[in-house]
Structure formats: C-alpha cells, structure tokens
Amino acid sequence: MASSLPSVPQLAAEARRVYGQVFGEDAPQVAVCAPGRVNLIGEHTDYNQGFVLPMALPMVTVVVGSQTSDQHVTIVTATEDADEPRRVDFSLPSDGSPLSPGLPSWANYVKGVIQHYRAPPVPGFRAVVASSVPLGGGLSSSASLEVAFYTFLQQLKPDDGDKVSKAVACQQAEHTHAGVPCGIMDQFVSVLGREGHALLIDCRSLEASPVPLADPGLVILITNSNVKHSLTGSEYPMRRRQCEQAASILGKASLRDATMKDLEEAKARMDDVTYRRARHVIEEIDRTVQAAEALKRGAYKEFGKLMVESHNSLRDLYEVSCRELDELVSAAMEVEGVFGSRMTGGGFGGCTVTLLQAHAIDRTILHIQERYGGTPTFYVTTPSEGARALSLS
C-alpha cells in the first residue's frame, strides 16, 4: 500500500551513523532538516509572478556536521539515487572567487548555497546528507537540499535570520549552480512551511498567507509515477521563454498583470503555441486564488474541480504532462471519495497529488494500482513544518 517514510529522528540517526563511519570518533555538532513540498495548485505560475498553493511535506533532507578549523569542506551523501561520487572534497576560495559547478551534480546545489550565503565568509566544515525526498519526482528534492544546507550554515555562522531572503538565496543557488531558472515557490515553502497549513504565496510580492488544511477527514495522496524527468532539459527554459515572449507582446512586465481579455485581443499577434502557454498561466493564477478561498471554506469538491481543470490545462495548453500522469489522474478520479487530482511539479513524469476523504485511501490506492501500467509509489501526507535545527541529544 502506501510507502512508510523514515521519520526525521530516524534519518538523523542514519546521517550520524554515516558521519561516524566516514569521520571517525567525533560526533557531529549540528543537525538540521528542510522539507520537500507538493504543490496543490498553481503550476508554472511562480516564474510568471503569480500565485502558488504548496505545502511542506513530512519528507525531508537532513544535514549533520561540524565546523572545521581550516577552509576545507567535505560532504558525503547517504542518498542512494544521487549521482557518483557520493563524497566531495574542496577548499573554500580565500579571495571570494566563485565556486564553480561540476560533477557530481548533487554537490552543485551545496556549492551554490555556499556562494549565495548571506553572511560570508563561510567556515570549513564536514557534513553528511540523508534524504527521504525522492529525487526527480517533482517534490523538490533540490530545494530541500539547498534549504537544509543554508540552515546548516546558519548554525555555523548565523546570518540575520530573514526567512524570505534565505529562500531567495537558495533560489539563486539553483539558478547559478544547477542551471535551472526556477521560480521562488520550492525554496519559499521549504523555509516557511507550517504544520497543518498550505501556503498561498504571492510570487511577486513574496508575501504568503497560511491556509488551514488540518481536517482529520482529509488526506493528500502523492502518487509517484516513477517516470523520471530532468528539468534542465530544453523544455522548462523553453516554457519560461514562451511566457516572457507572451508578456512582451502584451506589453506587460509579466503574465501576472495580464487578463484573458488582454490575451484574446492580442491573439492575432502571437503564434498558437505562445497563446496556449499564456492562456494556461493566466487562468491558472486565477484558479489558484479561487482554490485557496475554497479550501478556507472547506469547499473540497470545488477545490477538487479546480485541481482537475489545472491538470487538463497543463496537459492540453502547457503540454508538460505525459501518458503516465494522465493515467494516474483519470484512475484516481474514478474512485468515490476523491475530490480532485492533478500532476504536480514541473511535469514530464514525477508525481500526481490527490485530495480525498481519509476513509477512501485504501480503495483509491488499489484502484490506481489496477489501472496504472507502471509501478507507482504512494505517500499519504499532511502539511508539515518548514526548515529547522534538530536536537542532537
């Protein structure tokens, strides 16, 4: 049935065990964690300055480690799906020159965070990473790693503690060192997530309002298609360029400022693909605001309907879904007790998110297993806390 995730204390214990194996006797001085996220609605709207409605997950990346007396850094990952080598060693440049990205790719996220840390210079350290966020599943394993490392550095050499600036620094790390021109959502919710709440984030003003999501009769099922995607491929940057092009034709700073009336009036001045991309974004921004209102009222059927509309738009207008995700969504929607389901994350594989009544969880999982051609993994989740330091006692 649903996969059981290691708890935060279990992951921290595993990271400490590996730390002892690699570095010998001294126990780590610091432990922190930062969550992955699932986006309930508002897909591909964040880099268009729109609204998103994610929640932090109980899946986390844990970092344990200690400061060293020199400028040397050693990082080991216990994450099995990470690319080799699982250990990296490098020296921090004393002249402030940039740390250049390279291989293994997982270490680039860490180098980016060191580069953009807001209280330089960073001291030398050794650290072990362990994570329960599946890689390449669209649940923000990368943001979880970035934010966990930023939180780790805050314990070694505190910055001013500003949470929004922390999220922005982690977003920059992904831009410069992982080559992904992502929006702010993933890092923001990993830093600022709240237990029992989704977060309605305005990606233009960087303001967030918590939306209660703690009804005990409700669960959020994440289904991993186990079809992998890589966003640094051409598709993600291409979608971003198409949106910028549409905004430019409309004479707007971003699609956040555009209405469907603006788009229809300019339809003759853009090609069909650009029109469809812009239409998805403009309507999705509107859907996200409506969905947050519905959730506040406990109008779960209305919320579910908006989720399905979002999926159909991502499939037909934005063209980032795939056969496997479409199969998972239509299978979920056949089950009584399911309010809504949609692909979540960048697309081209990864996960779906489904809002359903708690009592329907087993039959929903069984039905999806019968109907889906692949081998899905299921996670039953509730909104969880953002990044935090952990006790080592």
Catalytic option among 70, 83, 186, 326: 186
**CA-CA-CA-CA torsion sign (291, 297, 300, 305):** negative
Residue 31 to residue 25: CA distance in whole angstroms: 17
* Beta-strand pair 125-131/51-67: antiparallel
Active-site residue flag, 262: no
Q: How far is CA 358 from the centre of its chain?
A: 24
Cβ 212 vs Cβ 296: under 8 Å:
yes
CA gyration radius for the chain?
21
Burial class (CB in 10 A: 0-12, 13-18, 19+), 233: exposed
Q: Which residues contact 359 (CB under 8 A, 6 or more apart)?
A: 217, 337
Residue 283 to residue 355: CA distance in whole angstroms: 21
Q: Which residues contact 125 (CB under 8 A, 6 or more apart)?
A: 65, 66, 67, 68, 73, 74, 152, 156
User: Mind telling me the catalytic residues?
Assistant: 186
